[in-house]
Amino acid sequence: MAVWELRCGLVNEFATLANVDDQDGDAGMFEARGQKKDWMHRPAVQFIVDPRKKKQKPRADVTAFVPGALVLNEKADKALGPFLSQFGQMLELHCSGETLYFYNATNMLDVVDSERSERRRSGSIAMEAFFEDNVPGEPAVFKDPLMAPVRIYVNDAGKAEVERIVAEAGLTGIECGPPQRF
């Protein structure tokens, strides 16, 4: 059973988000480490605008924001939300009068084999190896405790489900691919 990374795709082609209030970021509000979150307020975010460019990058349905999380617009939430919510939380963000949804995956599985994973000199994992026997057969979205701050994973069945939903809804900005070296 293969493990795939669920991530934003073509991040250089689409607009990205930034938090409006530095205190939210400083407080770790957007850290996606696999634990449930209970936001006391709906944080504000904004799309980054480059004033030097006349034409800004288009917005994707799934937007890059912070490692280990996804931000969905209303269209993506309507299509992907029912599937993704089985494995985490959809938390509301405020973006210039629009509601966006921060996907916080909370389904934790021990799938990264730290002994077989490729490491840097510092000892951190550069490329994961997986315990394939720990990967469920039914569609699943999950994180591993070792890589939770930076990765969201799907299994083969989860990848197929995400790709089906993305194709049917015509969503942009999301992909399932092999984990990339850090």
User: What average pLDDT does this structure show over 6-31?
Assistant: 92
Q: Please give the model's pTM, rounded to 2 decimal places.
A: 0.95
- Phi, psi angle pair for 144, to nearest 5°: -110, 140
Q: What pLDDT is attached to residue 181?
A: 83
Tell me the CB-side half-sphere exposure of residue 27, using CA atoms within 13 A. 12
**C-alpha to C-alpha distance for 170 and 12, rounded to whole angstroms:** 19
What mean pLDDT, rounded, does the chain reach?
Answer: 95
CB-based contacts of 50: which residues, under 8 Å, 6+ apart? 56
Rounded Cα–Cα distance for residues 182 and 176 (Å)? 17
How many CB atoms sit inside 10 A of residue 78's CB?
Answer: 12
Q: Which of the four pLDDT bands, split at 50, 70 and 90, describes residue 3?
A: very high
Strand partners, 47: 17
Alpha carbon of 68 to those of 62, 142, 152, 163: distances in Å? 13, 11, 6, 19
How many angstroms separate the Cα of 161 from the Cα of each of 51, 80, 131, 153, 166? 39, 9, 22, 13, 9
What is the dihedral sign for C-alpha 159, 163, 166, 169?
negative
23-47 average pLDDT score: 93
Range list of β-strands (E), the chain: 3-8, 17-19, 45-47, 62-63, 70-72, 88-95, 98-105, 118-119, 125-127, 141-142, 153-155, 174-177
**Using 50, 70 and 90 to split pLDDT, how confident is the model at 148?**
very high
Query: pLDDT at position 32, please?
Result: 95
